[in-house]
Structure 1
Amino acid sequence: MPDAPEAIRIDRFVEKQFKVSPRYELLPDGVLGYTAFGQSGVTAIVITTALDEEGGSVSERRIRTTLAHEAGHGLLHTHLFALGEKPLKLFEDGHNQPEILCRDVHGTPRESRYDGRWWEFQANRAIGGLLMPRGLVTKAAAPFCEERGGLGLSALKEDQRERAARELAEIFDVNPAVARIRLDDVFARNESGQLTL
């Protein structure tokens, strides 16, 4: 992990943590990537070549996000395969299916839909923690914060939230949506206007 806020080398994390190098393959439309598991853990993390072919910073950021999502599966779900407890409804079509979890898209690029697969929800939540570690986010967001309450806790100024998201997206090389979600995790919005512990 870097000492100062900067883009996390998620590809390097995958290589060190799981002892596999991410690879690119042509995947079915809508599938951004997948994680393959064996008895000893993660055996492959694969990203669709379609993301790489798009080019540009948005594409690069989608690749990084997909790698983080797949790393989330590796960190959170390896035990399901090592223990033989596969997620319900993932492998309905037979026992000879490859043991994988995949990241896919639903509908249009702007449409966001959660279809109830808990393992995908968990892998999505891992993206922020892997690409934007809490300590580095706190440092990077400091110019957009103020001390509040009797304890002087640091809180993100509501009128600076969007500006902070854009700035942190650049610093951590993530899409602004990822930065917004992570800022909401680290600096939760309080509807009442009062900080709570």
Structure 2
Amino acid sequence: MFEKLVADHLRSKHGKVEFPISTDDITTLIERDVTDLDQHADLTMYGAGVEGVTEFARAGKPRVSISNDVHRFENRLRTTLTHEYGHVILHAYLFALEQRQLAVDGNRKPNAIYCKRDTMVSASKTDWMEWQAGYVSGAALMPRTYLKRVVGDIQQQRNIYGPSSPTSENGVALIDAVVNGFAVSREAATVRLKILGILGQELASGNLFS
């Protein structure tokens, strides 16, 4: 779903699909589906570590706020933007139908999701909305089809068969290829490769010809 959204957006803007997707293209994609995108918000009132907020309305599109502090780190900004986009696309209907109201804590509103850095990429599945938004971030920045082309070249060069350990020489080479090819952090690249089964526990024979 999100690979198609991103690819269609890039084709409409540039007539082609190339990665890494630019931060500007991520921004214009989100702006299409929200009423407002504030990229330089002061979110300190919502507690330590809050870097993104998606606020939903009963009618109309959501509103997204990104902490001004995130702009110090380009990869973090890209992850935060796409994470909040996941909430926009996947979770607005819950609030519109009043099926979801979150507990109010301090200045927080019951119709908004407050996202911290430590759950932005690798939330537990028990925190299902954050987990889904994290998955979307990876899928938007590193779509499966395009990522497999990049790692496929590495796997062919190194005769890799099956999953590679993240700490092995092959695993590090795969992570490096994704970091460079999609302009993401090593953490985000590692999580995405694990989700797709490219990184993991190695088979008894980690090399096709060994």
Q: How many residues align?
A: 178
Q: Report the more deviating stretch, 20-29 or 183-192.
A: 183-192
| Bigger RCO (CA 8 Å, 6+ sep) | 1
Find the aligned partners of 2:126 and 2:30 in 1 and give their Cα distance. Answer: 26
2:136 aligned with 1:126, yes or no?
A: yes
Q: 1:46 aligns with which of 57, 62, 65?
A: 65
2:181 aligned with 1:181, yes or no?
A: no
Find the aligned partners of 1:145 and 1:103 in 2 and give their Cα distance. Answer: 35
1:19 to 1:44, Cα distance in 2 relative to 1, 3 A: closer
Name the structure with the higher strand share: 1
Q: 1:24 aligns with which of 27, 36, 40?
A: 40
With the length of structure 2 as denominator, give the TM-score of the two structures: 0.71
1:61 to 1:86, Cα distance in 2 relative to 1, 3 A: same
The residue aligned with 2:178 is 168
Q: Displacement of 1:78 after TM fit?
A: 0.9
Unmatched 5+ stretches in structure 2: 1-6, 8-15, 206-210
**Kept after mapping to 1: 8 A contact 2:164/2:201:** no
The residue aligned with 2:92 is 78
* Identity, % of aligned positions: 26
CA root-mean-square deviation: 3.3
Q: 1:14 aligns with which of 30, 51, 56?
A: 30
2:133 aligned with 1:117, yes or no?
A: no
Unmatched 5+ stretches in structure 1: 148-153
- In structure 1, give the amino acid aligned to 2:200: R
Name the structure with the higher helix share: 2
**Kept after mapping to 1: 8 A contact 2:86/2:136:** yes
Q: Displacement of 1:193 after TM fit?
A: 4.6
Q: Displacement of 1:113 after TM fit?
A: 7.0
The residue aligned with 2:3 is none
- In structure 2, give the amino acid aligned to 1:50: D
1:163 to 1:192, Cα distance in 2 relative to 1, 3 A: closer
The residue aligned with 1:150 is none
Summarize deviations over 1:110-157 as a string: whole Å, max 9, x none. xx774943211221121111111111101111221249xxxxxx8566
Find the aligned partners of 1:113 and 1:10 in 2 and give their Cα distance. Answer: 22
Find the aligned partners of 2:85 and 2:135 in 1 and give their Cα distance. Answer: 11
